[in-house]
Structure 1
Amino acid sequence: MHTMWKGSISFGLVNIPVKLHAATEDKDIKFRSLHKKCHTPIKYEKVCPNCEIEITNEDIVKAYEYTKGKYVVLEEEDLKSLEHEQDDKAVEIIDFVKISDIDPIYFNRGYYLSPNEGGSKAYSLLRKALVESGKVGIAKIMIRSKEQLAVIRVYDNTLVMETIHYPDEVRNAADVPNVPSESQISKKELDTAILLIDQLTSEFNPEKYKDEYRETVMNLIESKRTGEKMVTPDSKETPSNVMDLMAALQASIDRTKPEGKAKQKPTAKRKTVTRVKKNA
């Protein structure tokens, strides 16, 4: 597994040399843009619209637009000196909290942590302490020129670092338009909805979920590559937005009702017929 970063994590006076590895990967299907006429990949050139010339990376500087059309130019040396100051610091766990206190909206991306040379015992100590205490660590780390807030927790006997958003990066839910206030929901509607949730409740098993769209696109690509005919599955019924809420809930419950609990029609009792054996 590729190492993205090397450094150390500390809590109190305990220092743990670690390596950082990406825990997830993007499985999106990536398309190339081709010239329709000859199927040659398209090149995207960097052109200055003012000078009307093509430029190279050496001709580009970074700048911050503080108002429309006004920029503050930052030199690479300035940024590198700031990054160097952060890189020299250990990733310090500054707090321990319950993971249930962190709303999932804050989570961003996950990374595996492995011990570097000489860090195995301290790594194991932190892992066991997190499991026994039921807590996760809150830390800061510099990744790709950005200071990240992160959660350090245990997953499958491995320390995982989950980067999380800062509070000012999470938009205010109150700004979401057209969110209804408390609606008049009858007790029957609520009880039926809860019953439906109960019937659909199961243990989380990530293996049962798959990206059906990506799978269909890959089948389409393979059929075009091999010249075979693509078979398209029947489209699912699209529910209407205008419906009787109770009728929809009841229909959903009937559809998801376990087969074993289906009502069986009562069977008629068989009549017992006693046959008398005739003597020969």
Structure 2
Amino acid sequence: MARRSIWKGAISFGMVAIPSKLYSATEDIDISLHQYHKECGSRISMPKYCGTCQKMLTTADITRGYEVGDSYVPLTDADFQSLPLKSVKTIEVVEFVDESQIDLRCYDKPYFLASDEGGYKAYKLFVQAMAEAKLVAVAKLAYREKERLSVVRPYQGVMMLQTLRYAEELKDFADLRPVEYPVSDKELNLAVSLVKAMAVPQFDLTKYHDEYRQALEKLIEAKIAGVALPVTQEAPAPVSDVADALLASLKLVEAKR
């Protein structure tokens, strides 16, 4: 099946416009669960129903709008496309920054940006220039009825666009900082030794899997077969002596190696 783009426009890089298409970089593989009526076992549907007219509706019967008092202002796809913003049809690069300056909490969903016909040379130049300068582009993109701040960076020969959350979307975390508590040199040295002992020279994402989804699949299969699965163990209790727990952990890691 041919890859399907979810947005088409251009990347605006100074006076250069690069025809581009946006593609999803990830996919959800969660197990789909539904709601059922306990009494008869029927699957619950979510109908679109108008209480005033007392009838079921189809997608063609529904419009979007903004509520104003007892009425609303209808908004169509053409209205959204006609907004006086460059970001509606253009990924507008506004500045370049060192990515270390971007708060990690900002990062949201990743996408791939591919060059469309007529923009291949400029696309490649843009990718190479960012890689050479070791900078990422901060850009604006209007997509799904919202102007999204984003970062565009080179990624293994292509461009990756990752949406960012705005500053007002980030929650304060000052109240979550741990209270001041004395830590001994012994405890710190043991903790550092444990961290180093568990360190690996190269991170391998492929060795990690969604164990919750796998366990859920086994649970469903067991229920179909009428077999009981073992009960999950309780969460470990807090340790009374941190140094002893660190030392025991360090010995366990070394023994496994």
Aligned counterpart, 2:106: 106
Counterpart residue type for residue 76 of structure 1: L
1:24 Cα shift? 0.9
1:63–1:71 contact (8 Å) kept in structure 2: no
1:62–1:74 contact (8 Å) kept in structure 2: yes
CA separation of 1:239 and 1:223: change in aligned 2, threshold 3 A: closer
How does 1:163-202 map onto structure 2 within 5 Å?
A: 163-174=163-174, 176=175, 179-202=177-200
Counterpart residue type for residue 127 of structure 2: R
1:216 Cα shift? 1.5
State the number of aligned residues. 250
Task: In structure 1, list runs of 5 or more residues that go unmatched.
Answer: 261-280
TM-score scaled by length of structure 2:
0.85
1:61–1:73 contact (8 Å) kept in structure 2: no
1:8–1:16 contact (8 Å) kept in structure 2: yes
How big is each residue's C-alpha offset from its partner over 1:111-145, in whole Å with a ceiling of 9 and x where there is no partner?
A: 01111011111111011111111111000001101
Which has the higher Rg, Structure 1 or Structure 2? 1
Counterpart residue type for residue 62 of structure 1: G
Aligned counterpart, 1:238: 235
TM-score scaled by length of structure 1:
0.79
Q: Over the residues paired in the alignment, what is the CA RMSD in angstroms? A: 2.7
Counterpart residue type for residue 19 of structure 1: K
Tell which deviates more after alignment, 3-12 or 182-191.
Answer: 182-191
Aligned counterpart, 2:35: 33
CA separation of 1:72 and 1:140: change in aligned 2, threshold 3 A: farther
1:83–1:145 contact (8 Å) kept in structure 2: no
CA separation of 1:108 and 1:247: change in aligned 2, threshold 3 A: same
How does 1:189-268 map onto structure 2 within 5 Å?
A: 189-202=187-200, 203-225=202-224, 227=225, 229=227, 232=230, 235=232, 238-257=235-254
CA separation of 1:88 and 1:167: change in aligned 2, threshold 3 A: closer
How does 1:111-150 map onto structure 2 within 5 Å?
A: 111-150=111-150
Identity score, percent: 33
1:35 Cα shift? 3.1
In 2, distance between residues paired with 1:156 and 1:10? 21
Q: Secondary structure at the match of 1:20?
A: strand
1:73 Cα shift? 3.1
In 2, distance between residues paired with 1:81 and 1:254? 65
In 1, distance between residues paired with 2:179 and 2:141? 40
In 2, distance between residues paired with 1:71 and 1:27? 42
Task: In structure 2, list runs of 5 or more residues that go unmatched.
Answer: none
Aligned counterpart, 2:9: 7
Q: Secondary structure at the match of 1:75?
A: strand
In 2, distance between residues paired with 1:83 and 1:5? 12
In 1, distance between residues paired with 2:48 and 2:130? 49
1:45–1:54 contact (8 Å) kept in structure 2: no
In 2, distance between residues paired with 1:109 and 1:101? 19
